[in-house]
Amino acid sequence: MLATSLAGDYPLLNLFWTIAEIFLWVLWIFLLIRVLDDVFHDDSMGGGAKSAWAITVVLIPFLGVFVYLIARGSGMGERSLKRAQKNEQDFQKYVRETATGGGDSGSHADELAKLADLRKRGDITEEEYQQAKAKVLA
């Protein structure tokens, strides 16, 4: 009879070893992606240096990643922190501009409202209103 269980063919120690191997491969892939991300986001390196590091890391992955970590690893955290701070500042600036109506759409709407108010009060004619509206929308 060929009814054998998979658990009997795959002992518990082999299961633990397989889980450890998968964990290490995922960890390795994460490290490889992190190094390539740092290479391409580093503004202090030129295109030639970036391509050389990328080729090294792709063709000789273990040696390339370890050499990169030794040579440039100390600045990886600093570059990542600066990038995160810049992103946060850009986001805060965008939120402030949007909340205060500092964008173009807010100023256009304000201008049109002022023009409509002037026309309603009779300070400007319909023709002047249409000309001013065309300038604001242009």
Mean pLDDT of 116-138: 86
Lowest mean pLDDT among 17-26, 51-60, 102-111: 102-111
Residue 3 has pLDDT above 70, yes or no: no
Could you read off the pLDDT of 81-91 as tens digits, one per residue? 999 999 999 99
Asked whether 38 and 72 are in contact (CB, 8 A), the reply is yes
Q: How far apart are the first and last CA of the chain?
A: 84
In sequence order, the 6+-apart residues with CB closer than 8 A to the CB of 67 are 56
pTM listed for this prediction: 0.57
> What is the pLDDT, as a whole number, of residue 34?
94
Cα gap 132→119, rounded to integer Å: 11
Asked whether 39 and 57 are in contact (CB, 8 A), the reply is yes
Asked whether 115 and 124 are in contact (CB, 8 A), the reply is yes
The angle, 0 to 180 degrees and rounded to 10, between the axes of the packed helices 12-41 and 76-100 is: 70
